[in-house]
Structure 1
Amino acid sequence: MPSRDPSTSPPLHSHVTDALKAPSLIRLSDNLVLARFETLKIYAALGAVRSLVEAGTVRPGDTLVDSSSGIYALALAMVCHRYGLRCHIVASTTVTPTIRSQLEILGATVDQMPAEQDLRLDQHRRVARVQELLRRNPGMHWMRQYHDPVHRLGYAEMAALVRAALPGAPLAVVASVGTGASSAGLIGPIRQDDPSARLVGVQPFGSVSFGSDRFQDPEAIIAGIGSAIPFDNVRHELYDQVHWLTFRYAMAGTVALMRRHAVFAGLSTGAAYLVGCWEAGRHPERVHLVVGADTGHRYVEKVFARHRDAPDPAGLAPVEIASLHTLSPPWSSMSWQRRGFPLPDPPTGQPAGPPPTAGAPVTG
């Protein structure tokens, strides 16, 4: 038999986290590429825990604790399995039985919040529960995925993969904001090679991270994309453009991604895809990398089973605003210009910005 060429053999991994961490890069159009993950946050958990172990901050047998709406919980439990650490998850009400079962089999202790329609209250309850656990068990290590910059470290590896796959291309990264760690961890290394690389953030209405918390979206279940509390890992000054979408518009993008490209992905990915199509049409000179954080399994009933109700993305477009004062559902977009937050109010007597105008429909 002819010998196998080692250069063409698939890698043999020593742990499943190595097999799952890297994305599949899928070209959706000439200037639109999807980075599809089974679970994006393995990069965050691996980079953070590896750093803590190497520094001696945590040792085998120690317990790591954090709050999560789902994919970070699973990533952290898998990484704890790899390093011989215990794991305690304070889980959102949105964590599905499928994810909870996996967490429990991996040995994680799961505290799940009671059913709650208000995800703001859910998030506040989770943080309070973590703090209660720390008071009772001071030896636990709180991972603080929302605040500790150690969660950005693992994404440097992803940035290297992206630059190798798309050499020389001027890039725009389109990603849900979430905790902010993936956006910061990815765009930082990319801008070392190309300072002009754009970062486009996607938010739901109701999130405090970019000032839409005065709105409420009754259907919003876009876990992992917004926040009810300020996150230190959200570095506002990194973003060039910000988009806010309602649940129905995110649903439209999620169903369209499946229908057009056969990609079964989560709601935050669908939101980023809808925005990515819009941005790719506005900036044809750039390759737009849409970050797809997870698969669609936890959205089967509330999104995919309702696919006939999803709006047609071809008829959707954002209202382009110049000020947060004119922010309005269902879809707004604003040139953020790498500024901090909160933004200064317009001078007294000056208008907050020009009247909002709708752009052309998304066709990508």
Structure 2
Amino acid sequence: MNATPVHAHISDAIKAPDLVRLAPNLYVARFETMKVYSTLVAVERLLASGRIRPGATLMDSSSGIYAYALALACHKFGLKCRIVGSKTVDKTLMVQLRILGATVEQVEPQATLKLDQSLRVARIRELMAADPDLHWMQQYHDDIHYCGYEPVAELIAAGVRGAPLTLVGGVGSGCSTGGLACALREHAGDTELIGVQPFGSMTFGCEHIEDPGIIIAGIGSSIPFRNVRHALYDQVHWVSFDYGLSGAVALLREHALFAGLSSGCCYLVARREALLNPGRNVVFLAADTGHRYVEGVFAHYPDALALDGLQPTPVQRLDQLRLPWSAMRWNRAAFEPNVHPLPATAAQSAAAH
């Protein structure tokens, strides 16, 4: 009998996902909070390389799970943590961050996500100018954040075998899906990568459509992220808030898995992929638990739609995107946000299934 591992810090205990089989060829990589593993590896490498010194202050912009991951990493390695967030930081997270020793500064509410993100970045630049010893982690731009997903890919490759692999995940900063896809393509063959986006996100050219619900936190963006490597993605799916809510409620109802809103979006897409492609194993990422979505999502469970009745609109061009769910075969095309039209390799491809 294997001994239960004893960890030196709580971050090491929660950093890896649990793999759960939901259907014959459908799996979830369920994280308590996804960015802990990659943040621990990034900070460890920054210390080892001398880019940061013991006792340094690490800073970044975040209103969600990256803020928590950075605070945990700083706690483990004896570093100081500073977060520039928005007013949307929920009370539960805020209390945890402050008890962990993080300094949290919230910018004033803005009319749009773009203004909010831009204001946070501007504030970070002000702080950097005033104190050059601060280290800006740049989760959206520094590719050191890719490194922490290599061991997660090894775990997935070892646990999900017997068929070609499809990975489904929210794009966000690009590191989780990008880092996992790069490593899985080394360990598990030519893994297919499906990125999930909210409407209103510019990352894959959907800033012209506004979701009347809400932009889904964590998987979209209103400013370019250098860590998104568009040429890694085989498909992209855009999912509305209402459909994401339906996916999250179904995930809890059908599988007793309490996960966040982006997990609901990914479940919706992955469930369909697994049904359409029984010869492939489909793994989707559940980035966090559902606790901070109780009021905004799960309390509205009577409004959830049955997933069997939901289908995406297949599109070949970005100007064909439409609510509530669109899908495009991206075919690993290069792309620059805000530069249109879509590159020919993607624009000429067939619609997703």
Any conservation in 1 of the 2:329–2:349 contact (CA below 8 Å)? Answer: no
> In the superposition, relative to structure 1, how do residues 294 and 354 fare at CA in structure 2: closer, same or farther (>3 Å)?
closer
Question: In the aligned structure 2, how far is the partner of 1:205 from the partner of 1:298?
Answer: 21
Q: Please tell me whether the aligned partners of residues 280 and 286 of structure 1 are also in contact (alpha carbons under 8 angstroms).
A: yes
Alignment match, 2:94: 100
1:263 paired residue number: 257
2:30 is matched with which residue?
36
Question: Per the alignment, in what secondary structure is the counterpart of residue 153 of structure 1?
Answer: helix
**Whole-Å Cα distance in 2 between the matches of residues 31 and 186 of structure 1?**
19
Amino acid across the alignment from 1:188? C
Amino acid in the other structure paired with 1:193: H
Q: Give the one of 32, 39, 54 matched to 1:45.
A: 39
The one-letter code matched in structure 2 to 1:208 is: M
Correspondent of 1:11 among 5, 19, 23: 5
Which residue among 161, 169, 173 is the counterpart of 2:163? 169
Distance 2:303 2:133 in 1: 49
Counterpart CA distance in 2 for 1:268 and 1:243 is 12
**TM-score, normalised by the number of residues in structure 1:** 0.92
Aligned to 1:362: none
Count of matched residue positions in the alignment of Structure 1 and Structure 2: 349
Partner of 2:112: 118
TM-score under structure 2 length normalisation: 0.94
Secondary structure of the residue aligned to 1:290 is: strand
Letter in 2 for 1:299: Y
- Deviation digits for residues 195-245 of structure 1 (CA, Å, limit 9, x no counterpart): 421000000001110000011113214111000100000000000000001
2:52 is paired with a residue of what secondary structure? Answer: coil
Residue matched to 1:300: 294
Distance 1:217 1:319 in 2: 16
Question: Given that residues 321 and 353 in structure 1 are in contact (C-alpha distance below 8 angstroms), is that contact kept between their aligned partners in structure 2?
Answer: no
Q: Percent identity?
A: 52
Q: CA deviation at 1:116?
A: 4.2
CA displacement 1:104-125 (0-9 Å, x = unmatched): 0000000123344622222111
Residue 86 of structure 2 aligns to which amino acid in structure 1?
Answer: S
Whichever residue aligns with residue 250 of structure 2, its letter is A
- C-alpha displacement at 1:313, in angstroms? 1.4
Moved over 6 A (4+): 352-357
Q: Is 2:184 the partner of 1:190?
A: yes
Instruction: Assess, with a 3 A threshold, how the Cα gap between structure 1 residues 347 and 227 changes in structure 2: closer, same or farther.
Output: closer
SS at match of 2:179: helix
> In structure 2, do the counterparts of structure 1 residues 205 and 285 end up closer, same or farther at CA, with 3 Å as the change threshold?
same
Partner of 1:310: 304
In structure 2, what is the equivalent of residue 151 of structure 1? 145
Q: Deviations over 1:118-139 (max 9, x none)?
A: 2222211111111111111111
Query: Contact 1:93 / 1:116 at 8 angstroms: preserved in 2?
Result: no
Gaps of 5+ in 1: 360-364
Q: Which residue of 2 aligns with 1:231?
A: 225
Q: 1:276 is matched with which residue?
A: 270
Please state if 1:64 is matched with 2:90.
Answer: no
In structure 2, the partner of 1:109 is: 103
Tell me if the contact between 1:94 and 1:223 (Cα under 8 Å) persists in the aligned partners: no
Amino acid at match of 1:307: Y
Q: How is 1:118-137 mapped onto 2 (pairs within 5 angstroms)?
A: 118-137=112-131
Q: Does the residue aligned with 2:206 lie in a helix, a strand or coil? A: coil
3-state SS in 2 of match to 1:203: strand
AA aligned to 1:84 is G
Contact in 2 for aligned 1:62/1:140 (Cα 8 Å): yes
Deviation at 1:47, TM superposition (A): 1.3
Q: Flag the 1:152–1:220 CA change in 2: closer, same or farther, 3 A.
A: same
Rounded to whole Å, the distance in 2 between the matches of 1:186 and 1:356 is: 25
Further displaced range: 64-73 or 339-348 = 339-348
Q: Which residue of 25, 37, 57 corresponds with 2:19?
A: 25
Give a deviation string over 1:35-64, Cα, whole Å, max 9, x none: 110100001211110110000111221100
Amino acid at match of 1:90: V
Q: 2:202 aligns with which of 204, 208, 211?
A: 208
| Structure 2 counterpart of 1:180, from 174, 179, 182 | 174
Offset of 1:346 from its aligned partner? 7.7
Q: Partner of 1:126: helix, strand, or coil?
A: helix
Alignment equivalent of 1:339, drawn from 322, 326, 333: 333
Please give the secondary structure, in 2, of the residue aligned with 1:179. coil
Quote how far apart the aligned CAs of 1:94 are. Answer: 2.3
* C-alpha deviation, 1:167, in angstroms: 3.0
Structure 2: runs of 5+ lacking an equivalent:
none
More displaced stretch, 244-253 vs 117-126: 117-126
TM-aligned CA deviation for residue 356 of structure 1: 7.8
Change (3 A) 1:312 1:167: closer
